[in-house]
Every structure is written in C-alpha cells, then in structure tokens.
Amino acid sequence: MCFMLAFSPILRTQARGLQLHRFTGTPSLIGKLCRMSSTNPLAAVCQVTSTPDKEANFAACKRLVEQAKERGACMVFLPEGFDYIGSSRDETLNLSESMEGETISRYAELARKLEVWLSLGGFHERGENWESDRRIYNSHIILDAQGHIVSVYRKGHLFDVELTGRGVSLKESAFTVPGPALTPAVQTPIGKVGLGVCYDLRFPELSLALRRQGAEILTYPSAFTVATGAAHWEVLLRARAIETQCFVLAAAQVGSHHAKRASYGHALAVDPWGTVLGDCGGAEAGVALVQVDMQKLRDTRRDMPVEQHRREATFYSSLG
C-alpha cells in the first residue's frame, strides 16, 4: 500500500534527437510551475513491475504519472529499469536504445502534455561505442515540464555480486559501462535534486559529494533484489538521509519481472531527520505522494549543523 504523505489521505493505484537543456530559472520561479496541495510542492514516488514488454511497461508508467499529476504532483520519480527488465544479457542489449530513440521521446511527450517533471531512473542507453562493443549505460534522466533533458547521470557503481546461498548472482559490468563522473545536483520544482541509481546507495561518498554541492533531495531509483532489499534497503536509505540531512526519494521495482528475477519493492520517501514518510510495500505497483517541506530541511540543518562540524579533507585522509 502506498501512503499519501504528510498525514494526507491514502492514495493507491494499480498499474502494470533530444538535447540537454539547463534550466536557469530561480528556485522561486521554478516553484510557481508546480500545482501544490499546500505550501509545499508534491513529489510522486512510483513503484512498478517492469518486464521485457516495453509497450506494457510504458502503459503502466504512464498511468501512474497521470494519476500523480491529477493529484497535484509536479515531479514524478520512476525506478531503475522503468523501460524494461530483460530476461537475458542478449535480450537486455537488444532492447536498449539511444537517448534519441522512441522511449525517451515518448516520455518527453508525456512530460510536455502533463506539464510535469520526470525522473527516469535507469534507462538502458546504448553506449558511445555500441556498434563495436555492444555495451550500455544505466542512465538516470531528468526531464523538465517541456520535455527537455536537463540532466543525465550514468550509474557509476555497477552491481557485480554473488551472494552464496541467497540466490543472488548478477554481474552488471558484463554489459554495462560505468559512468565517468557525478552529475551536479539539478534545480527542480521540488528542490535541488542529486542523482544516483540503485547500487550507488551503498556508497556514502556519492551522497556526501552531492550534499556539498548543494543537494536538498537525493534520489536512488532502484531494482533491489529481494534478499538485499529485506536486509539493507530501508536502513541504507535512512542512513543517507540522516548523514546528508536531505530528503531521500527512492522509486522501486517490485515483484516478478520474469522467471529469473524479482525485486523487493518498498518504494520509500525519507525526510532529513531519517523518518520514513511513505512506503509502497512489497506486493504491488503504486505511487506515493510526499510533501517536500524545505522548512523541515532548514530546521534540521540549523539544529544539528553537521556540515559546519565536518573537518578539513586532510583530517579524513590522515590514516593514509
């Protein structure tokens, strides 16, 4: 079940060529673009069950985005693999596209039509040397309400894990190129968003770098395995929120994608104190709405000024 956050009523829904544009408006101007249920903008954190069927996946995501917009959200977060989750290496590669392909074009059109910002949390993007090496990026794309790409982050930490006895064996690096660098936090209608993808969640260096660069919201769209999700998902998300004093929004995959893979679910929203504001559960697709209260963020950082207490870089490297 997905909860409408900040003590609002419950909302649950069921569902099954572009250039980079930098938005240069001020935070106050951007905020005016967003329809709000109160003084705080609404973000929507989605949970889906992607399969190798790209058309069905788009239809399911589109319904969730439309439901979120109808209820006042001005930015909607979709998980890693929102486009598809393949059942084999070859299928994963064959279904991939360039940024100029049909999938991103359709989402750009959806953003324009609904006048909503979109976080597309893990797109299978064909790499620069696709014709010679057939490798892809795992790319997190931000679209503005005009359908322009305003930010792209390519996942830097790849999930190469063999959990003996837990049924987890994945080697993302077999077909994925690691991203070369972090992407600056991007100003959006809900605040300044720092981008990660799934396994990046386990590396606090990334979240702290984004916080130093001005991030107010961290987002980790994911497809966590059932085993790792049950053990680590919530505690990691809360830790990233607490140590950075940021909101953390984590869209998620849930349920069985095909015979070989299932995801944990529990799309989550966490506030800067580490309090879980909403949890979509581990059973079905849906969307949770969260009010992004920047006064709460400012109060948390004022009352416990962790960033001011941080020592110089040489202190942390003094052990060699």
Q: Please identify every residue annotated as catalytic.
A: 80, 155, 198
Beta strands 75-78 and 247-250, pairing class = unpaired
d(C-alpha 183, C-alpha 253), whole Å: 23
Rg (alpha carbons) of the chain, rounded to whole number: 18
d(C-alpha 145, C-alpha 115), whole Å: 4
* Integer angstrom CA distances of residue 217 from 16, 83, 220: 28, 24, 10
Contact status, residue 197 vs residue 140, Cβ threshold 8 Å: yes
Residue 7's CB is within 10 A of a number of other CB atoms, namely 8
3-class DSSP state of 138? strand
State which amino acid sits at residue 155. Answer: K
State which amino acid sits at residue 305. Answer: P
Q: Tokens 């009010």 label which residue?
A: 291
Contact status, residue 193 vs residue 142, Cβ threshold 8 Å: yes
